[in-house]
Amino acid sequence: MNSATIDDPREMLGDVAEGLKAGALVPYLGPGISALSQPEAPMTPEAIAAFFATKTALPKRARDNAWAAAQYIESYKFRDTVTAWMKDAFAVGVAPAPFHEWLAGLPLRLIVDSWYAGEMRQALASRTGWIEVQGITRAGIGEDRWFRFYDPSGAQVDAAAAEAAATLLYTPHGGIAPEANFLISDADYVEVLTEIDIQTPIPEEVRRRRTGLGFVFLGCRFHDQLLRTYARQIMKRSGERHYAVVELDTLTRNERRFLEEQGIGVIDMALAPALEHLMA
């Protein structure tokens, strides 16, 4: 890791807190935030693969890979089974963490929630003036679109509602709520990745709102190429200053390279105290 990206963690957290409070940073949230409370739902891709393995025998290549496991199930037991088992995996809801609730009170124009459990949506539920745009699988839906817009009640709305919203919640991989949309299988991602370089699968309103803003990655891992690709494309053409709360000694070589290549400032600290510091 380029040492130029590593400064005093608490000083950097102060900058992040100021940026979030001013709406100048986009929080990019991963499941690590909720995993601190040890919920029953799977909170890593590997945990999803392990959950699938309780339902059916998986080939060796799929045992630790959620995308390959879902593809195997889709190929042999059909897409409806994948969706049903994902709904089972997240049937026990994951409550918003205090940090989700804190974010819900800030004047954020854009929030990215990269997991399926829907905690950020729940945290925003008591507010008005927000819309969610959610990535969807195109498997079997007969629609030529990559995402759907939802209002706080869970009703589908159009892009104009998102344009008018004070806050846009972007869940690029889908989510359990409100309609159990999941991008999870290899086939889902092959479709998206064929066009993600030209940004078609990323909603235009997300692209508009990210302009000039920095990103702060919290509770995320980038040990999988797919996760790195998504983050890289969602960040594209945004601001110049980005941050990630990570513990450097836990990262893979590819994660370190990703953070360096993207110019992401590393806040080398355990997640729980970092979140506490941000909310202080």
Structural domains of the chain ordered from first start: 3-37+97-125+136-279 (3.40.50.1220), 42-89 (no CATH)
Question: What pLDDT was estimated at residue 140?
Answer: 58
The pLDDT assigned to 191 comes to 86
Q: Percent of the chain, pLDDT > 70?
A: 95
How far apart (Å, rounded) are the C-alpha atoms in residues 31 and 45?
A: 10
How confident is the model over 205-261, as pLDDT tens digits?
999 999 999 999 999 999 999 999 999 999 999 998 999 999 999 999 999 999 999
User: Where does the pLDDT of residue 139 fall: very low under 50, low under 70, confident under 90, or very high at 90 and above?
Assistant: low
Q: Is the pTM of this model over 0.75?
A: yes
Give me 72's structure tokens. Answer: 């195997």
CA-to-CA separations, 20 to 28, 108, 129, 271, in angstroms, rounded: 11, 7, 18, 17
204 contacts 237 by C-beta, under 8 angstroms: no
User: Can you tell me the distance from the alpha carbon of 154 to that of 265, in angstroms, rounded to the nearest whole number?
Assistant: 36
Distance of CA 83 to the CA centre of its chain: 19
Q: Is 13 exposed, middle or buried (0-12, 13-18, 19+ CB in 10 A)?
A: buried
Q: How confident is the model at residue 145 (pLDDT cuts 50, 70, 90)?
A: confident
67 pLDDT higher than 90 = yes
Q: Give the pLDDT confidence score for residue 1 in this predicted structure.
A: 46
Omega prior to 172 cis, within 30 of 0: no
Average pLDDT estimate for 184-205? 92
Angle, helices 225-235/253-261, rounded to nearest 10 degrees:
10
Of 22-31, 143-152, 262-271, where does mean pLDDT reach its minimum? 143-152
**Whether pLDDT at 63 is above 80:** yes
142 pLDDT exceeds 60? Answer: no
22-31, 51-60, 137-146, 175-184: the lowest-pLDDT one: 137-146
What pLDDT does 271 receive?
98
Which has the closest alpha carbon to 4: 273, 264, 276, 271?
264
SS3 of residue 6 by DSSP: strand
Query: Could you tell me whether strands 110-113 and 264-268 are parallel, antiparallel, or unpaired per DSSP bridges?
Result: unpaired
What pairs with residue 242 in β-bridges?
264
Residue 193 or 48, more confident? 48
Asked whether residue 4 carries a pLDDT value surpassing 60, the answer given is no
Give CA–CA dist 100/266, Å, rounded: 21
State the DSSP code for 96.
P
What rounded mean pLDDT belongs to the chain? 94
Angstrom CA distances, 77 to 70, 71, 89, 148, stand at 10, 10, 17, 26
Q: How confident is the model at residue 138 (pLDDT cuts 50, 70, 90)?
A: confident
In this prediction, residue 3 carries a pLDDT of 39
